[in-house]
Amino acid sequence: MNYNPSAGEIKTAVAERLSRLFGETPAEATREQMYRAVAKTVTEMLNDKRAGYKEAVAKGKAKQVYYICMEYLLGRSLKTNLENLGLADKYKEALEQMGFSLDELYECEPDAGLGNGGLGRLAACFTDSLASLDYPAFGFSICYEYGLFRQKIVDGLQIELPDNWLPGGDVWLQPRPDRVFTVRMGGRVTETWKDGRCVIGYEDTEDVEAFPYDMMISGGASDSVARLRLWKARATRSFDMSLFSQGQYAKAMEDSGSAEIISKVLYPSDNHLEGKLLRLTQQYFLTSASVQNIIRDHMAVYHRIDNLSDKVAIHINDTHPSLVIPELMRILIDDYFLSWEQAWDITVKTVSYTNHTVLPEALEKWNEDIFRFRLPRIYMIIHEINERFCRDAWEKFPGDWNRIGGMSIISYGQMHMANLAVIGSHSINGVSALHSQILKDTVFKDFYRMYPERFTNVTNGIAHRRWLCYSDKKLAKLLDGTIGPAYRHEPEKLADFKAYSEDAGVIDALRRIKHENKQSFAALLEKKTGVVIDTHSVFDVQIKRLHEYKRQLLNVLDIIGIYLDLKNNPSLDIYPRTYLFGAKAAPGYAFAKRTIQLICMLQKEIEADPRIREKLRVVFLENYCVSMAEALVPAAEISEQISLAGKEASGTGCMKLMMNGALTIGTLDGANVEMRDAVGRDNIYIFGMNAGEVEQLWREGYNSALYYARNDRLKRIVDCLDHGFAGESFADVAAYLLSGQGVADPFMCLADFDSYSRVREAMYRDYLDRDKWTVKSLMNIAGSGFFAADRAVTEYAERIWGLEKFKLN
> What are the residues binding ligand 26W (CB under 6 A)?
116-119, 122, 269-273, 318, 356-357, 362, 364, 431, 460, 648-652, 670
C-beta contacts of 627-631 below 8 A and 24+ residues apart: 627/75, 627/76, 627/111, 628/582, 629/543, 629/582, 629/653, 629/656, 630/75, 630/466, 630/467, 630/471, 631/471, 631/520, 631/521, 631/524
3-state DSSP of 578-609: EEEEECCCCCCCHHHHHHHHHHHHHHHHHHCC
Cα distance between residue 742 and residue 577, in whole Å: 36
HSE-CB of 491 using CA atoms within 13 angstroms = 28
Question: What is the C-alpha R_g of the chain?
Answer: 27
3-state DSSP of 704-739: HHHHHHHCHHHHHHHHHHHHCECCECCHHHHHHHHC
Least distance (Å) between residue 330 CB and ligand 26W: 23
Question: Would you say 147 and 112 are in contact if contact means Cβ atoms under 8 Å apart?
Answer: yes
When CB distances to ligand 26W are compared, the closest residue is 118
Which residue in 330, 514, 545, 617 is the catalytic one? 545
Which residue in 550, 577, 647, 776 is the catalytic one? 550
Cα distance between residue 634 and residue 661, in whole Å: 8
Least distance (Å) between residue 634 CB and ligand 26W: 20
Which residue in 615, 656, 676, 760 is the catalytic one? 656
Q: Alpha helix (H) ranges present in 182-319?
A: 241-245, 249-260, 277-302, 308-311
- Our answer to whether residue 652 is catalytic in this structure is yes
Question: Would you say 155 and 583 are in contact if contact means Cβ atoms under 8 Å apart?
Answer: no
Taking alpha carbons only, the member of 209, 445, 423 closest to residue 316 is 423
By three-state DSSP, how is residue 477 classified? helix
Question: Would you say 546 and 599 are in contact if contact means Cβ atoms under 8 Å apart?
Answer: no
- Following DSSP, what letter does each residue of 398-464 receive, concatenated? TT-HHHHHHH-SEETTEEEHHHHHHHT-SEEEESSHHHHHHHHHTTTHHHHHH-GGGEEE----B-H
Q: Where are any strands of DSSP class E within 145-239?
A: 150-154, 157-161, 174-175, 181-185, 188-194, 197-203, 206-218, 225-235
Question: CA 599 → CA 70, 553, 596, distances in Å?
Answer: 31, 9, 5
Least distance (Å) between residue 712 CB and ligand 26W: 35
Question: CA 797 → CA 429, 564, 580, 791, 801, distances in Å?
Answer: 13, 53, 37, 10, 5
Cα distance between residue 759 and residue 773, in whole Å: 15
Question: CA 458 → CA 62, 127, 794, distances in Å?
Answer: 24, 16, 10
- Our answer to whether residue 799 is catalytic in this structure is no
3-state DSSP of 539-578: EEEEECCCCHHHCHHHHHHHHHHHHHHHHHCCCCCCCCEE
Taking alpha carbons only, the member of 162, 271, 784 closest to residue 479 is 784
DSSP label at residue 171: G
Least distance (Å) between residue 546 CB and ligand 26W: 12
Cβ partners under 8 Å of residue 449, min gap 6: 396
Reported as type and span, the H/E element at residue 639 is: strand 638-641
By three-state DSSP, how is residue 200 classified? strand
Question: Would you say 753 and 747 are in contact if contact means Cβ atoms under 8 Å apart?
Answer: no
Which residue in 315, 374, 518, 544 is the catalytic one? 544
Beta-bridge partners for 353 = 316, 428
Dihedral (Cα; 408, 412, 413, 416), 10-degree rounding: -30
**Distance between the two ends of the chain, CA-based, in angstroms?**
21
- Our answer to whether residue 182 is catalytic in this structure is no
DSSP label at residue 98: T
By three-state DSSP, how is residue 351 classified? strand
- Is the Cβ of residue 321 or residue 670 nearer to ligand 26W in the bound state? 670
- Our answer to whether residue 715 is catalytic in this structure is no
Question: CA 163 → CA 13, 169, 686, distances in Å?
Answer: 31, 11, 38
Catalytic residues: 356, 544-545, 550, 652, 656
